[in-house]
Structures are given as C-alpha cells and as structure tokens.
Amino acid sequence: MSLAAEAFVSQIAAAEPWPENATLYQPLKEDQILLSDSASSLAVQTFLRMCGLPVLVSCRANAEYMSPSGKVPFIHVGNQVVSELGLIVQFTKAKGHSLSDGLDDVQRAEMKAYMELVNNMLLTAELYIQWCDDYTATEISRPRYSSPYSWPLNHILAYQKQWEVRRKMNAIGWSGKSLEQVYEDVSQCCQALSQRLGTQPYFFNKQPTELDALVFGHLFTILTTQLTNDELAEKVKSYTNLLSFCHRIEQAYFKEHDRESQSGSSRHSKGSLP
C-alpha cells in the first residue's frame, strides 16, 4: 500500500472497535499449508490472543490469492483486509491495542532488530529448506502446495512458486549456501534468541510483546512439523530455555485450543510439543 493509503487505513481503523467476527485466513491446515506459512499464521494468532482480541480461523485453499499482498495469513476485520504481522501490529495499534507501549525507544529499537533477525534468518531458512532443497521440495512442498488443484494446474502452480522462491534466494545471496550452512545459520539465530531471553519469562521481562509472538510462532511450528529429517527441530531443541519459553506460551494462550484442534494429529503436524 502506498503511504497515503496506509495512513488513511489507520485513520479509518481507529474509528471502529474490534468486531466479534474478525477472521483470519490461512491455507488448508491438514493438506496444504507449508512450514513457513504455518509459522507466520501461528505468530499472528498468538499476537491476537496476547492482545485479547477474538479471531476466527478460517482455512481456504486460495488464501494466498485472496491476500492483498500475496502473503498469508491475513485478517479480515470489519471493512479492512490486512496481511503480514508488521501491518497487523500497526492496525491493532490504530485500534488502541498494543503490546509494546511500555517500551522505551532503545527497547523498541531492540525489539524491531530481533524481529528482523527472525524474519531474515528463520523465515528465509524455512523457505530455503522447503523450496531449494530438492528432496524436501519433491517429497513435501510441491505435493502439499498443489494438493487442492487438479492436473495440470497443480504442476504449474507448484513449479511457479518454486521458481519464484529460488529467484528470491538468488537475489539475497542464499542460493550459494549448502543445507548444512543453513542449519548452522538457524542454530546461530536460536543461540542469539536464547542468549537474549536468558532466564526471563518473556523477551522484555514481564510482558509479552509481538517479538514473543513471532518467535513462538516460528519455533513451535519447527518443533511440531514433520519434515524429511528432524535436523531442524534438533537444532532448536538444543536450547532448553527456548523450549520452556514455547511451553509457557502454549500453556498460557493455547490451552483450550490445544485440546480441540490438535488432538487429531495429521501426517504433517505432530500435535503438541514433545
């Protein structure tokens, strides 16, 4: 959105309270959604729960195409459609709900820096593993991504998405990396997060912020998703304070949700944390 349109949206957003029928759209949970999308979606859901805002999760096969920016998840609130965690945080702030008001400027700078670290390293690594690693792409990503469609559309869409992601990896210089280097980067990122978290309950001591939501979304999804091998999950598991952080947030915000929807574990997701 252009800057003027963004300012306009936040002004309109401020005018109405949060409705009861706000909906979050994501790809189909059992068959279609991939690791990176699932992580982003969980991050947004966690953030909204932390703010205490009710939202219904609706799974659609064409969620990616409905989204204004092409990224999932996106939320439909009243008359607006907003996608991506950054814009959703801005949107909820315009409505008067914010988790990071108590932070001073330096802390806010740190929070933004860590969110960029997660996006830069973890999300890019997830995309790399899904689409640039041939084995994972053939076994998991392509079949899942194109499962709602029939032949020949499924092949075309899957290869198109793969080509797009590989182009992006090329542009940022990740195409020269081997899988081991990517795992090493994930490990370093987790180490940085673990050191920043230390023994605190949340990243900025007592109050959860959008950084906590983002980190939880990614780490929980990595830990509970079955890929071709478990190496990614092992890298995360080696940091015990991150594991207990995930447990804590899961207990605090997802207790009822856990029992309802994740009891029937699918082939892809292993359900709750081990």
- Kindly state whether residue 53 participates in binding another protein, applying the rule CB under 8 A: no
Stretch that binds another protein, among 9-17, 93-101, 133-141, 266-274 (CB under 8 A): 9-17
Q: Which is nearer to another protein, 18 or 253 (CB)?
A: 18
Distance of closest approach, residue 226 Cβ to another protein, in angstroms: 28
Binding letters toward another protein, positions 178-197, x by CB under 8 A: ----------xx-xxxxxx-
In sequence order, what are the beta bridge partners of 269? Answer: 225
Q: Which is nearer to another protein, 56 or 252 (CB)?
A: 56
- Kindly state whether residue 240 participates in binding another protein, applying the rule CB under 8 A: no
Give which of 68, 232, 64 is closest to 164, Cα–Cα: 64
- Kindly state whether residue 121 participates in binding another protein, applying the rule CB under 8 A: yes
- Kindly state whether residue 2 participates in binding another protein, applying the rule CB under 8 A: yes
Rounded to the nearest angstrom, the gap between the alpha carbon of residue 52 and the centroid of all alpha carbons in its chain is 19
Instruction: Name the token pair of 75.
Output: 């939320």
Stretch that binds another protein, among 49-57, 164-172, 219-227, 250-258 (CB under 8 A): 164-172
- Kindly state whether residue 70 participates in binding another protein, applying the rule CB under 8 A: yes
Instruction: Name the token pair of 228.
Output: 């071709």
- Kindly state whether residue 238 participates in binding another protein, applying the rule CB under 8 A: no
Instruction: Name the token pair of 251.
Output: 């207990």
CB atoms within 10 A of CB 2: 7
Sites of contact with another protein (CB under 8 A):
1-5, 7-8, 11-12, 15-16, 19, 68-71, 78-79, 105-106, 108-110, 112-114, 116-117, 119-121, 167-168, 171-173, 188-189, 191-196, 198
